[in-house]
Structure 1
């Protein structure tokens, strides 16, 4: 049995379908099925019962999954011990990063880091901040937006002011009624926007909400005149000069999306993790 086989079992258990697992690890469904068949033959046990909706663990499968978890945990401990004992900065660093930060800032940060520490392997996952928060213990470092979480050290990287943009002006002393284009984000972002709109309902009234998946799609819809969009400064680029906009403020204070780097106590004892954290803390974002 290879480490990758144990990792596959855990991924199958986590996702619950062969199709979903194949998509997540970027290999074909037949390849996943073949590897699972080999693993079950190796143990001489059926690990999963295939139903029409999901994979269900057998009693033997439950034992094997617990064994796989132990193998992966011991492997990670060994890698960390070797990294700590080496004079070179090496080993693996697992990073979970907000999609916006991974698109806008992370490529340049990782390029700088890997040039400085070429022996370090990067294990990167991107997604919504609320999903990352839920699984934060699975990573060395989390880069998130919005609210932080307990049981971790969190350092603020930057505040990202929010603005509402449109192709049409924002008139003074007159109610503006337009559709609002919203992109998929975590609850804290939507709550901030809804709260601001509540206190400015005499100025701006969304006629309806158009929901899209990506922030870039949201920007393009706004640019085509389909409605208003609330966007952070970090992704606004030259839009400040090209489109009517107003800052989101409450009681004279800007409404912002704070960006944080979070990690577990003691993880900076790993040289590769410590160097990465220091690299990102030293960066100027806005």
Structure 2
């Protein structure tokens, strides 16, 4: 079995569907079915069977599929080590980052880094902060950019912090918020907890949610067009002059803060590209990116 075979098993275990697996891997359904049979012949065991409800794995198939992630990670580690044996900084840096970082910070950051190290390439995975932790922990990503307060046992660096604030098209009074239309958005668990905790400290009734949107930047657009208020970090409102902002404060009258971190595993610094990126990051003012 080669790397492609392990990848097939990994995706098939996630999708539980031949057609969707083929689409993900850009393999025709007949070619994928043929390759699965060849893998079964190679290992000497039946791996999957079909029913009216889709694909099911035999015990042998279950074992191989669950091993596929470990095998793919190990193969990538070997490739990293081989690349690292060359002089200089080259290869592919794998990054996991939140949507905010991917949209507003990473494009400029990676451009600056590549100017210094033109032989570098990047693979960026945009996920929620909790998934950033998982990807760096399993070494599927070398570097992670996450927002909020999550426990991380290895190396991390604080990149910047921002105040949480009430954003609205027209001036509002905090005490009147429960009666005003609020725009909510999907966000990381830690940020939602931060907002909910502040609300409970100040009000005994739930907010009046008028809209629920998928992204923070969509929420910002709705606020700018006067559809309600929202509670969000101040960074996304940078250079937005036509929106009123009120910094929210905790029970000790301290501003409620949201922090953004870069995380990585200390052992990954043995990879030239990772060490170069971490060192380069120390020279960057993330607030000005």
Same fold flag (TM > 0.5): yes
* Partner in structure 1 of residue 226 of structure 2: 225
Partner Cα distance (2:149, 2:198) in 1: 17
> Which residue, 143, 149, 155 being the options, matches 1:141?
143
* Partner in structure 2 of residue 254 of structure 1: 255
Shift of 1:221: 1.5
Query: How many residue pairs were aligned?
Result: 279
Whether 2:106 is the aligned partner of 1:106: answer: yes
Q: Give the TM-score normalised by the residue count of structure 2.
A: 0.84
Partner Cα distance (1:22, 1:169) in 2: 53
> Which residue, 26, 38, 41 being the options, matches 1:42?
38
Shift of 1:278: 2.2
Root-mean-square deviation (CA, aligned residues, Å) is 2.7
Q: Give the TM-score normalised by the residue count of structure 1.
A: 0.85
Partner Cα distance (1:102, 1:96) in 2: 9
Shift of 1:207: 2.2
* Partner in structure 2 of residue 282 of structure 1: 283
* Partner in structure 1 of residue 274 of structure 2: 273
Shift of 1:148: 2.9
Change (3 A) 1:98 1:35: farther
Does the CA contact (< 8 Å) of 2:91 and 2:273 recur in 1?
yes
Does the CA contact (< 8 Å) of 1:148 and 1:154 recur in 2?
no
* Partner in structure 2 of residue 164 of structure 1: 166
Unaligned runs of 5+ in 2: none
> Match of 1:216, SS?
helix
Does the CA contact (< 8 Å) of 1:158 and 1:260 recur in 2?
yes
Shift of 1:144: 0.5
Shift of 1:269: 0.8
* Partner in structure 2 of residue 198 of structure 1: 200
Does the CA contact (< 8 Å) of 2:97 and 2:124 recur in 1?
yes
Shift of 1:271: 0.5
Unaligned runs of 5+ in 1: none
Partner Cα distance (1:84, 1:187) in 2: 36
Partner Cα distance (2:67, 2:208) in 1: 55
Change (3 A) 1:278 1:196: same
